[in-house]
Amino acid sequence: MSLPEPLPDADPSEQEALVVFTPSGKRGHVPRGTRVLQAARMLGVDLDSVCGGRGICSKCQIAPQFGEFPKHGLTATPDALSPRNAVEDRYDRIRGLEEGRRLGCQATIEGDIVIDVPPESQVHRQVVRKDADARAIVMDPATHLHFVEVAEPDMHEPRGDCERLAEALREQWGIAGTVVPLSVLARLQTALRKGNWSVTVALWRGDDGPARVIDVWPGFHEGRIYGLAVDVGSTTIAAHLTDLRNGTVRASAGVMNPQIRFGEDLMSRVSYAMMNPGGDREMTRAVREAIDGLADTLAQQAGVTARDIVEAVFVCNPVMHHLLLGIDPVELGQAPFALAMSGALDLEARDLGLRQINEAARIYVLPCIAGHVGADAAAVALSERPDLSDDLVLIVDVGTNAEILLGNRERVLACSSPTGPAFEGAQISAGQRAAPGAIERVAIDPVTKEPRFKVIGCDLWSDEPGFAEAIAGTGVTGICGSGIIEAVAEMRMAGIVDAAGLIGSAEQVGSPRCEAQGRTHAYLLWDGTATGGPRISVTQGDIRAIQLAKSALYAGARLLMDAMGTDRVDRVVLAGAFGAHISPKHAMVLGMIPDVPLEAVRSAGNAAGTGARIALCSVAARREVERLVRRIHKVETAIEPRFQEHFVAANAIPHASDPFPNLARIVTLPEPSFNTGGGGEGRRRRRG
């Protein structure tokens, strides 16, 4: 598509027309007869086209606006646009063209006019995130579809089909020096002939290097292309199948990380690799197979073929990162915790042995920050952008390992803290993952010490009429991460647990629900034995597990505050798969997070996953996070003596020494003391 010649000698008012594009407001004079798509390109207006202006793809649909526009200083008469032509009529007949819409590659500008570009016709449209506080994602994916017409070979044209395709991409799309991998090359000749010398290519341009063809389809490809945003956690692998055209999540799913069988937390997996020759390779194989399975599940859920998944973005902590890449994580088991590779990676599907997604799919792995602060923390930073915050924000991404960021426009610090899997319901006697039947909310009457609760899959509280019937299908099966946090906090508020974390006896508490278990006590939440279900209690061991986890989290946050030279933060963002379900009040009663006004605590959902999605949808965001990680200063928790001090002080509920004035304003905590016996503080702590 060549631009029309300028018309220097003619009277502009005769030969040219004023066109104003909305919503961009871009305006200018173009020769009458100029196609709208051409005019958009001349004026730098974001108007999509996959077919390159051939009236096939309909991605360039525009909405002409007629009438008086004093604001723009023009009046648009109905003849300001050429009448609908045969190509548009045919398109309307076959695929339907909405009332008031025209094809930008067909309609020509014949007089002054205002042209609206609807969101779906914009390449760089904004993707609205559910989270109202969050910035919008502007679509800027690495992979686009391009329709091209390729010159036919003849006996006197020495170049191969591939070279003629590259030439067509240069001529028709201005994209020079395309690389075609062998896997695509093997299909190219068939596609060209089947498409009668036109094909649609998926073209990746994710770095400064040459464009890469990921796939090729005969003729105009009606289908879409997709990307996977994958968050490889120690416990869970979560992925979103995303439409690369508009950023829509078409399907989401999670699976347990099968590496769990080699060790529950990160350090036990590093140990497994150290103790078992080839153990790292076993774990690499396991996680890659799980990702393959997840890709397959998502494609089926969304009803798309896995071959149309042409990109994947990965975020993960450094141990998961190394195991995913096939690197023995042994160096992460000891100071100075040297990463094999800290930078972002552009890879191919085969580098990770992925077999379900497109053979030539491109992989982007976010950069790690340093040591145990990995690509997951980088993704959280990309999603939450603490570096753009005016006030001091603490972001905690709660998982098996907690990623903690503290910062503002001046400075951003980060650390990783080994909370262990207790917050995810593991290491809890009745713990289970968040699934129907799991207790997710708990309230305890401070007078009667009687509990009520809600289970996932049922809207009723356990003391409301109809609860028994409502849960008949699932039963009450256990307690999930957010449930155990609420339970412990409620027990603390009801005086069932003291500040040291000890559960009182039935006599001390004044409730038969406090049952003796050896030398300690457990609080009975639910007795389901009458209907063949379990007895669900919160045991002294459960309290200890939660104390260890929350102390690690708080100590990490405090270490960052020390490094920042402050003892208070302005606001707290709770991220992580289950961050969304934690009640800020209960989190603060427990002393998981520093004391701030309750309204200054916000849940950001799965920020790491969101960061992965942003990077999937935007090349600019990839460059942004690469710059951002270089600005983030890592604070090492593992060898910092103050971490241990903070950890010990944070063991009390909510804290042994730090005041919680904001919390005190809304909650009055009773202060019983249940005779500190042999608590069992000596359990070995591990990272992750």
Beta bridge partners, 373, equal: 370
Dist CA 320 CA 416 (whole Å): 14
* Four-residue CA torsion sign, 85, 86, 88, 89: positive
User: Do residues 42 and 28 make contact, with C-beta atoms less than 8 angstroms apart?
Assistant: yes
Nearer to its own copies, 27 or 623 (CB): 623
Query: Closest approach of Cβ 336 to its own copies, in Å?
Result: 5
Dist CA 499 CA 523 (whole Å): 16
Dist CA 582 CA 223 (whole Å): 40
Distances 378 to 96, 274, 386, 523, 631 between C-alpha atoms, Å = 44, 27, 11, 40, 11
Dist CA 163 CA 190 (whole Å): 15
- Dihedrals φ, ψ of 210, to 5°? -65, 155
Dist CA 99 CA 118 (whole Å): 13
Distances 536 to 117, 236, 445, 590 between C-alpha atoms, Å = 58, 24, 18, 21
Query: Closest approach of Cβ 186 to its own copies, in Å?
Result: 5
Nearer to its own copies, 325 or 616 (CB): 325
Query: Closest approach of Cβ 54 to its own copies, in Å?
Result: 24
Query: Closest approach of Cβ 386 to its own copies, in Å?
Result: 17
DSSP tally for the chain: helices H, then strands E:
18, 32
The residues binding its own copies (CB under 8 A) are: 153-155, 157-163, 180-182, 185-186, 188-190, 209, 325-328, 330-331, 335-343, 347, 350-351, 368-371, 634, 636, 639
User: Do residues 654 and 589 make contact, with C-beta atoms less than 8 angstroms apart?
Assistant: yes
Nearer to its own copies, 38 or 259 (CB): 259
Contacts of 273 (CB under 8 A, 6+ apart): 279, 280, 283, 328, 329, 330
Q: Which two tokens stand for residue 637?
A: 């928790």
Query: Closest approach of Cβ 159 to its own copies, in Å?
Result: 5
Dist CA 550 CA 245 (whole Å): 41
Nearer to its own copies, 162 or 548 (CB): 162
Distances 326 to 49, 82, 320, 323, 580 between C-alpha atoms, Å = 40, 59, 10, 5, 32
Nearer to its own copies, 23 or 336 (CB): 336
CB atoms within 10 A of CB 431: 21
List strand residue ranges (DSSP E) for 576-638, in order: 601-605, 632-634
Of 59, 61, 60, 63, nearest in space to 100 by CA? 63
Of 312, 365, 345, 382, nearest in space to 621 by CA? 382
Query: Closest approach of Cβ 622 to its own copies, in Å?
Result: 17
Query: Closest approach of Cβ 185 to its own copies, in Å?
Result: 6
Query: Closest approach of Cβ 616 to its own copies, in Å?
Result: 21
Nearer to its own copies, 330 or 524 (CB): 330
Query: Closest approach of Cβ 632 to its own copies, in Å?
Result: 9
Query: Closest approach of Cβ 293 to its own copies, in Å?
Result: 22
Nearer to its own copies, 186 or 664 (CB): 186
Beta bridge partners, 483, equal: none
Query: Closest approach of Cβ 52 to its own copies, in Å?
Result: 23
Nearer to its own copies, 331 or 527 (CB): 331
Query: Closest approach of Cβ 646 to its own copies, in Å?
Result: 18
Query: Closest approach of Cβ 152 to its own copies, in Å?
Result: 8
AA identity, residue 144: H
Nearer to its own copies, 131 or 348 (CB): 348
Nearer to its own copies, 261 or 631 (CB): 631
Query: Closest approach of Cβ 155 to its own copies, in Å?
Result: 5
CB atoms within 10 A of CB 252: 16
Nearer to its own copies, 468 or 639 (CB): 639
* Angle between helix 279-302 and helix 266-275 axes, rounded to 10 deg: 130
Of 328, 314, 427, 434, nearest in space to 368 by CA? 314
Nearer to its own copies, 636 or 658 (CB): 636
Question: Cα-atom radius of gyration of the chain, to the nearest Å?
Answer: 30
Nearer to its own copies, 336 or 512 (CB): 336
User: Max Cα separation, the chain?
Assistant: 101
User: Do residues 322 and 336 make contact, with C-beta atoms less than 8 angstroms apart?
Assistant: no
Pairing of strands 309-316, 601-605: unpaired
Nearer to its own copies, 570 or 640 (CB): 640
